[in-house]
Amino acid sequence: MDAAINRFIFLLKQRGARISPAESLDAMQALARVALHERETARTVLRCTLIKDLRDLSMFEELFEQFFSLPKRAETAAPGDEPSPAAPDTTIQTPDAAAPATVGGQPDGDNAHEDALDIREYFDESQMVTHFNSHQDPHDFSLAEFGQNLVLSRRRELLDHAMQNALQVLKARRLKNASRAGELNFDEAIAALDADLIADAVTELLDELSDAEIDEGLLQKLSARLKGGIAQLPELLKRYLERELALRQQEAGRAARPARPRPDYRFTEQERREMTEIVQRLCRRMRGARSYRRRIGPQGRISVPLTLRRNMKYEGIPFQPVLTRHYDEKPRLVAICDVSLSVRNTARFMLHLVYNLQTLFEQVRSFAFVSDLVEISPYFDQLGIDDAIAAVFDGGLLDTEVDSNYGRALERFHNRHLAAVTAQTTVIILGDGRGNRNPPQVWALEAIRRRAKQLLWLSPESRGSWRMGSCDMPLYEPVCHHTEVVRNLRQLGEVTENLLRRSAIRP
């Protein structure tokens, strides 16, 4: 069981969920405390211990479905990945034909269990009780897919071995017909599984079960039952392997992307210095969050403990009151930057701005978008400016050559990253607002403004051209606190000046 859960956690991590070892242990402990006969309970337990972020929830549900149920048949194993029904091999016929006969032979009417072989034929319920800590009524007992997986996962090495063999055969096949490179045929993979291999697997599985903490009498009953059902166990194994294969293939799909030659996006020393200076001024203008701790200062409220402590020497008569107050911390920033072709020239400048913001401000999260939206703050944190900007334009992070879609990007941000925006955050959007006639999704921007302390939009296009073509700026502008035209350092300087002046007028 631990092996199965571990594998599940491994796959979750691979799909981006952050799960610590402590959480894995929690999951195991929690599973031990509930009866596992119910799929939904197991799902809830795993979800509440492993998934702490709403964004991971859908991924979890999907993987749970995939992992804790055996695929129905090869054709449903991986719907998208099946390249051609006309596979050259005819050996597939055998398992295909065998499957409905054996499954249909069981007194299993309901569809819910049709997809998974009903293992209760082979295993005694009392044994299951010892194994899975189940307390259910024995008449009603049925080991759902979850349990089956646990049994199958007991012999991972063996299954891995079988997998390796299958993959070897598969690779050899792919070499033969190179025209279909990149495509994997599942039927072939399954057909490649040796009958001998499966027979071995069954014996080993039996051995393994006999090693487990089952008493003698039970084992005899078990093997007696197995003799009747041994023909079906290979089938079960096969399905298990199919599923594993599907999961592995997805993993492989996540592998590295082809690298592209890097264009040069370097900045001169002069540019850098000016930018830093301007951003520092901007930084001063943007008021940040109230500090967490009060600090001693000339103004504020009397702090009783500190006053008492300081005036101990005067026998507690408060000659020297101590005043404390909250101070504004450095602001938090969220920068969202358009890096599409239409603003390529200014995007370089904008990213430079974002980079500087990120180095100067403590809490900055930056995002880049064209049609898709990705967070780029980790790259900007780790790489130097030139490398970081090149990384964005390379197309490795997001496709920079599609048409920009502001509506989609804003909606994405709203759905995935809105929690990054708090009442202390200033949001800066850099872009020309040309969404190529896609729905502008102004509501998403409104939602961002509602949560943010301030929403600034810096556009590289002059105001006059905002009304031309498919520019959505007239829609976005009233939503923002400020919109400014910034195309180069000089303009950025002016804007900063402007903002500073405005803040001076304000109390």
Partner 1 sequence: MFESIEHTIARLREQQYICDRKLATVAFLALQMQKPILIEGPAGVGKTELAKVVSAALGRSLIRLQCYGGLDEAHALYEWEYGKQLLYTQILRDKIGGLFEGIDGLREAVARLDLHEDVFFSERFLVRRPILQAIDSPDPVVLLIDELDRAEEQFEAFLLEVLSDFQVTVPEIGTVKAKTIPYVIITSNNTRDLSDALKRRCLHLFIDYPDEGRELEIVRLKVPALRELLAAQVVAVIRRLRALDLRKAPSISETLDWARALVLLDADALTPELLDETLHLLVKYERDTQRVNEQLAWIAEPIQAQPQSMSSEAALTPPQRPAEPDTNFLEQRRQEHAARYFTNYRGRTDGRTGGA
- Residue ranges in contact with partner 1 by CB under 8 A: 18, 20, 22-23, 26, 29-30, 33-34, 40-41, 44-45, 47-49, 51-54, 57, 289-290, 292-293, 304-305, 308-309, 312, 315-316, 326, 340-342, 344-346, 403-404, 419-420, 422-423, 432, 434, 436-437, 451, 460-462, 464-471
CB of 92 to partner 1, least distance (A): 39
Which lies closer to partner 1 via its Cβ, residue 289 or residue 353?
289
Which lies closer to partner 1 via its Cβ, residue 180 or residue 490?
490
Which lies closer to partner 1 via its Cβ, residue 318 or residue 384?
318
Residue 459's DSSP bridge partners are 485
Which lies closer to partner 1 via its Cβ, residue 20 or residue 220?
20
The answer to whether the beta carbons of residues 350 and 458 sit under 8 Å apart is yes
Within 10 A of 418 (CB to CB), how many other CB atoms are there?
Answer: 15
Q: Which two structure tokens, joined as six digits, stand for 187? A: 């039927």
DSSP H or E segment with residue 26 = helix 21-33
CB of 133 to partner 1, least distance (A): 12
Q: What is the largest CA-CA distance in the chain?
A: 100
CB of 167 to partner 1, least distance (A): 36
Which lies closer to partner 1 via its Cβ, residue 34 or residue 158?
34
> Distance between CA 195 and CA 436 in Å, rounded?
57
CB of 18 to partner 1, least distance (A): 6
> Distance between CA 200 and CA 182 in Å, rounded?
31
Residue in the block written with tokens 């992307």: 257
Which 3-state string (H, E, C) describes 481-501? CEEEECCCHHHHHHHHHHHHH
Q: Which two structure tokens, joined as six digits, stand for 206? A: 């039996």
Q: Helix 216-229 and helix 125-132: axis angle, to 10°? A: 120
Within 10 A of 208 (CB to CB), how many other CB atoms are there?
Answer: 13
Rg (CA), the chain: 31
CB of 48 to partner 1, least distance (A): 5
Which lies closer to partner 1 via its Cβ, residue 243 or residue 434?
434
The answer to whether the beta carbons of residues 358 and 369 sit under 8 Å apart is no
Which lies closer to partner 1 via its Cβ, residue 134 or residue 185?
134
Which lies closer to partner 1 via its Cβ, residue 130 or residue 345?
345
CB of 453 to partner 1, least distance (A): 12
DSSP H or E segment with residue 426 = strand 425-430
Q: Which two structure tokens, joined as six digits, stand for 224? A: 């007696």
Which lies closer to partner 1 via its Cβ, residue 244 or residue 432?
432
> Distance between CA 507 and CA 503 in Å, rounded?
8
User: Dihedral sign, CA of 46, 52, 57, 60?
Assistant: negative
CB of 460 to partner 1, least distance (A): 8
**83, 171, 373 from 180: Cα distances, Å:** 9, 12, 33
Which lies closer to partner 1 via its Cβ, residue 158 or residue 442?
442
DSSP H or E segment with residue 428 = strand 425-430
Which lies closer to partner 1 via its Cβ, residue 190 or residue 322?
322
Q: Which two structure tokens, joined as six digits, stand for 233? A: 């166990």
Within 10 A of 333 (CB to CB), how many other CB atoms are there?
Answer: 26
Residues 6+ apart with CB under 8 A from 462: 485
CB of 365 to partner 1, least distance (A): 10
Please spell the DSSP secondary structure of 397-408, one letter per residue.
Answer: SS-TTSPP-HHH
Distance from chain centroid for Cα 507? 44
75: left (phi over 0), alpha (psi -120 to 50) or beta: alpha
CB of 50 to partner 1, least distance (A): 8
The residue type found at 265 is: Y
Which lies closer to partner 1 via its Cβ, residue 30 or residue 197?
30
CB of 26 to partner 1, least distance (A): 7
